[in-house]
Structure 1
Amino acid sequence: MNLFTDIRSLVLESLTALQARGDLPEGLVFDSVTVEPPRDPAHGDMATNAAMVLAKPAGMKPRDIAEALAALLIEDPRIDSAEVAGPGFLNLRLAEAIWGEIVTAALHEGTGYGRSVMGEGTRVNVEYVSANPTGPLHVGHTRGAVFGDALAELLAYAGYGVTREYYINDGGAQVDVLARSVYLRYLEAHGREVEFADGTYPGDYLIETGAALKDRVGDAYVDQPEEVWLQDIRSFATEAMMDLIREDLALLNVQMDVFYSEKSLYGTGRIEEAIETLRAKGLIYRGVLEPPKGKMPEDWEPREQTLFKSTEHGDDVDRPIAKSDGAWTYFAPDIAYHYDKVSRGFDQLIDVFGADHGGYVKRMKAAVSALSDDRVPLDIKLCQLVKLFKNGEPFKMSKRAGTFIMLRDVVEQVGADVTRFVMLTRKNDAPLDFDFDKVLEQSRENPVFYVQYAHARICSALRKAEAAGIACGDADLLATPTSVTHPSELAVARKLAEWPRQVEIAARTHEPHRIAFYLYELASDLHALYNRGNEETQLRFVQEDAPQVSQSKLALARAVTVVISAGLGILGVTPAKEMR
């Protein structure tokens, strides 16, 4: 049941009826007509902008359209009143019975309440994390991992066919640096004194990898030149780091469908195939780029290169895909990788990157636009930095990684559920402060606690009712008519009615943080109702001398747990049945 969709359909049917009887001209487009919660709940349950957006194309006054529309809408039994406000907004109040139907729908559909078919099976590839395989994940990767995973689950909940993908950057020079760093740890395992030069990775996490390499090859690589061991140690070290990364992802309950190796693009003709596809479209040429804007690099000189004409697909400048010596730039394998995604038949692509990839957005979008003939949209989501605090001060936890704080350190401190929820309490492109004291605080100021407490509070009420002999299984609650009349109860029911709409908005905009915000608002309404029961006993969920009244109250509360469970499921958080 999607109440907002249902009432919007009623509005559109009424507009069509007005056209049929000549009160509105033919040929109007209703795409911009919305039905939304009013900004001020005192104005009603819903509001539509129909008269405002149709007035100009219809050549009519907004109030005239609104009054004609109101007269038709009021004939529907779901509409209790339709009032024209201001220049032509139309505020709607729904019949009281609707709110009981919302509760019934939530109980009947369970966590399927709010699921959407909006995606209609559209195939979406969501690539996220994709950290270089040079060490365990750090706190900066954590936000992208949580955001990408929640977005993927949100899209699946909205009816999309989702593939979760990790791109292993194992084709570049950074993996050579990893191999050299592991070689130093390998020498250490043989009792040698070593020195980590600038550019190598000094983190302790490579000690075990060096020892494991010793166990595998013995002293075969000791005192051997780099050409003897580099390729073998590259592969060995990359796999060892990917094992660490998979362990880190598991700590966050992140499961990937595909791990795609950049290295698999080299020497297989895949890069060449992608570039030839662009060449066939007249988008590859030899040329010289303009000098960089701003301060001129000392080593810059005009050189002829192989360029991708990305400006024809929205980029600011054309981009080099091969250097003057013919070697591929880093952009070429990225083009080939995205060409592979397009070739796999995905209808939409989403990349989740760190904030330092801002300059990458236009060129990659241009490449996908060109490769797919504008058929496959690419959305790139940038996740801003996370700053850690404790006792109000910037917090540094671990140096085991050498120069960065590891994901597992954060999860060990506060748990996966708290980590995931807090990472979604800000929009992805806004900086996020992660305060270890606040995220464990038991107060309204801590959103993860506040939402979990609402769920646990209801679970406690259901246990109390069961102990009092009140039947409170879902079948029992569904068998009892639900009455929702008090303003505090109506606030909860109205918020429950918004859930399907919020799912579709969040999925359409690729903004899973909206789910976290919504859950906090729903929890706030639930807590307000619960606290009101301390003063007005008729609002209490459990009234031992009135079993049927209790069942009606508990049905509303149970519907809240259904939606909280669904929402937390999208965020990858386990609902709490009790608070300790």
Structure 2
Amino acid sequence: MSTVFETYTAAVHAALDALEAAGSIPAGLDRKAVALEPPRDPSHGDLATNAAMVLAKPAGKPPRAIAEPLAAELAKAAGVASVDVAGPGFINIRLDPTVWIDELNAILAAGGDYGRTGMGKGVHVNVEYVSANPTGPMHMGHCRGAVVGDALAALLEFAGHEVTREYYVNDAGGQVDVLARSAHLRYREALGEDIGEIPEGLYPGDYLKPVGAALAAEFGDTHVGKPEIAWLALFRTRAVDAMLALIKADLALLGIHHDLFSSEAEVQAAGEADRAEAELRAKGYVYEGVLEPPKGELPDDWEPVELTLFRSTAFGDDVDRPLKKSDGSWTYFGADMAYHKRKAERADQLIDIWGADHAGTVKRIQAAVAALTGGKPFDVKLVQMVRLFRAGEPVKMSKRSGSFVTLADVVREVGKDVVRFMMLTRRADAPLDFDFAKVVEQSKDNPVFYVQYAHARIHSLARRAAEGGFTVAAPSAVDLARLDEAELDLVRLAAQWPRIVEAAANAHEPHRIAFYLGDLAAAFHANWNRGNDDPSKRYLIADDPGITNARLALARGLGQVIANGLHVMGVTPVEEMH
């Protein structure tokens, strides 16, 4: 069944077809910019279209010269109560209340599938997110990108896409050698050696003690006193495996599970970087050259060195980028380029979720993907930092001491659902403050509580009705025409859910779901509070089963939309507040 917006978008295009047939507008006008949406001022009607405004110039007519005949055609559509032309040519449409009653029935009938679309059918999207270096447990610096990526993947699936959730394991760089040396130190400690203070440059956290103990139990003192070359590769593999197990366990606390973990070391060992370089060289995008010197005062040790360069300036980057270091080994960009080529061979679209500290590398990787794929859709979403507070005071952390707030600690303190919801209460590219006290506060200023409270309130109605001996009527026996205008306004807002899904999926912005749920919850609470001043507006009226059944159906519909939105966010809808 079509949603309200699909039905009346089709009506707008049918009316435009009629104007074309009558010769009122030229045939074949580009209608891509024609939109149908709720008017900014609800008093103007239920829907508004900009069709006359955007088609006026290409049609060579004043907007009102299109708007007036278009309004006359739209007035003929089923369910349209009135159509008005406003200002220079905006068209406002008011629908008959039966349209909203039908939409409420559609919400109740569709249940958990209400809002699902076929928009992404046949499109395979790879979403890569988290991809933290496998050198320690997840901390709150990783948390936001993890939630944004996971919610985006769920949103795209809800919009009909096939989605692969991927984690790129950076296990080929110098940081994993540092990890191996740090694990070797803890291994010696587990065998009884007094290792003293952790040397500068190694990872100091206690999370490596169990790794050292496991290595000691497996190998005894076999690797004590041996040269690094004898044990580095083995300890690197064991330590990375242990860290990945730790990372997966931390992510599981947030309800996050990736479909695929790809290894940077494996990509390089398979020769994929070499093949990507050869492909780019054949296209004329790779050459041997010397980078321009750094701007400003030159370092004393700077000297021009010939490098293998990718011509990323051909795709809008500021400078060309080295694929290999002076010793012939791959730069991180060179390896990353090959990895993205691999992803692009398996998916129709690529999305990466990165920390804002990687902003400087976006242009070069987008350039490489464009060169390797011929322009396959590729979006990089940058996620800003999370600032932690306790009762308004910043939480201090020290990387040097290994003291940081782990994701696991936060989830255990405030709960998975609170963490996930809060990470989506701001645009990903805006900083986010996370106050341990405020996120569990039971007030309307806490969006997590306010939305969950709306869902719990709705579920309380069914319990209270049962406790009062009220018999809920079958859907076919409920007279939804008893709902008043304020209650139909709630249906109007709930009916926006499918278009919110499509807009958020198209923009790759899952925070829009949280914003929408906040608006829907606020509208529901305001409607609920009418009963405080006027008992006849309460949801349960003992001596009027007709209005009670109508309002219970309304509440169930609103609760369903809230639950659907929370599920997309990866948040469990609660039925009782504690």
TM-score range, shorter chain: over 0.9
- The residue type paired with residue 490 of structure 1 is L
Higher mean C-alpha displacement, 538-547 vs 176-185? 538-547
Q: How far off its partner does 1:538 sit? A: 2.9
TM-score w.r.t. the length of structure 1 is 0.97
- The residue type paired with residue 270 of structure 1 is E
- Among 512, 526, 529, the alignment partner of 2:527 is 529
Equivalent residue number for residue 203 of structure 2 = 201
Equivalent residue number for residue 492 of structure 1 = 490
Higher mean C-alpha displacement, 455-464 vs 74-83? 74-83
- Is residue 130–residue 166 contact of structure 1 (8 Å, CA) maintained in 2? yes
Equivalent residue number for residue 347 of structure 1 = 348
Identity of aligned residues (%): 56
Q: How far off its partner does 1:397 sit? A: 7.6
Please tell me whether residue 175 in structure 1 is matched to residue 176 in structure 2: yes
1:515-543 deviation per Cα after TM superposition (whole angstroms, max 9, x unaligned): 00000000001001110122233322212
Distance 1:521 1:488 in 2: 15
Distance 2:252 2:381 in 1: 23
- The residue type paired with residue 456 of structure 1 is A
What is the CA RMSD across the aligned residues, in angstroms? 1.5
- The residue type paired with residue 13 of structure 1 is A
Equivalent residue number for residue 380 of structure 1 = 380
Please tell me whether residue 165 in structure 1 is matched to residue 166 in structure 2: yes
Q: How far off its partner does 1:546 sit? A: 2.0
Equivalent residue number for residue 277 of structure 2 = 275
Higher mean C-alpha displacement, 168-177 vs 458-467? 458-467
Q: How far off its partner does 1:455 sit? A: 0.3
Distance 1:38 1:392, change over 3 A: same
**Matched ranges for 1:71-470 at <5 A:** 71-194=72-195, 195-344=197-346, 346-374=347-375, 376-396=376-396, 402-470=402-470
Q: How far off its partner does 1:169 sit? A: 0.6
Distance 1:91 1:299 in 2: 69
Q: How far off its partner does 1:470 sit? A: 3.0
Distance 2:399 2:203 in 1: 12
Matched residue SS, 1:165: strand
Distance 1:379 1:401, change over 3 A: farther
- Is residue 397–residue 403 contact of structure 2 (8 Å, CA) maintained in 1? no
**Matched ranges for 1:496-515 at <5 A:** 496-515=494-513
Equivalent residue number for residue 554 of structure 2 = 556
- Is residue 49–residue 89 contact of structure 1 (8 Å, CA) maintained in 2? yes
Distance 2:112 2:269 in 1: 48
Higher mean C-alpha displacement, 552-561 vs 403-412? 403-412
Gaps of 5+ in 2: none
Matched residue SS, 2:226: coil
- Is residue 204–residue 400 contact of structure 2 (8 Å, CA) maintained in 1? no
Q: How far off its partner does 1:483 sit? A: 2.5
Distance 1:31 1:507 in 2: 18
Distance 1:463 1:309, change over 3 A: same
- The residue type paired with residue 190 of structure 1 is L
1:498-523 deviation per Cα after TM superposition (whole angstroms, max 9, x unaligned): 10000000000000000000000000
1:289-329 deviation per Cα after TM superposition (whole angstroms, max 9, x unaligned): 11223454443321111011111122121110012222211
- The residue type paired with residue 241 of structure 1 is M
Matched residue SS, 1:533: helix
Q: How far off its partner does 1:245 sit? A: 0.1
Higher mean C-alpha displacement, 126-135 vs 434-443? 434-443
Q: How many pairs were matched up?
A: 576
Distance 2:412 2:577 in 1: 19
Distance 1:479 1:30 in 2: 43
- Is residue 483–residue 547 contact of structure 2 (8 Å, CA) maintained in 1? no
Matched residue SS, 1:198: coil
- The residue type paired with residue 317 of structure 2 is D
Gaps of 5+ in 1: none
- The residue type paired with residue 426 of structure 1 is R
Matched residue SS, 2:481: coil
1:419-452 deviation per Cα after TM superposition (whole angstroms, max 9, x unaligned): 0000000000000000111111111100010000
Distance 1:435 1:64, change over 3 A: same
Q: How far off its partner does 1:330 sit? A: 1.2
Distance 1:82 1:297, change over 3 A: farther
- Is residue 483–residue 550 contact of structure 2 (8 Å, CA) maintained in 1? no
Q: How far off its partner does 1:127 sit? A: 0.2
Distance 1:108 1:377, change over 3 A: same
Distance 1:467 1:294, change over 3 A: farther
- Is residue 315–residue 370 contact of structure 2 (8 Å, CA) maintained in 1? yes
Higher mean C-alpha displacement, 501-510 vs 266-275? 266-275
- Is residue 488–residue 528 contact of structure 1 (8 Å, CA) maintained in 2? no
Q: How far off its partner does 1:22 sit? A: 1.3
Matched residue SS, 1:266: helix
- The residue type paired with residue 478 of structure 2 is T
Q: How far off its partner does 1:239 sit? A: 0.4
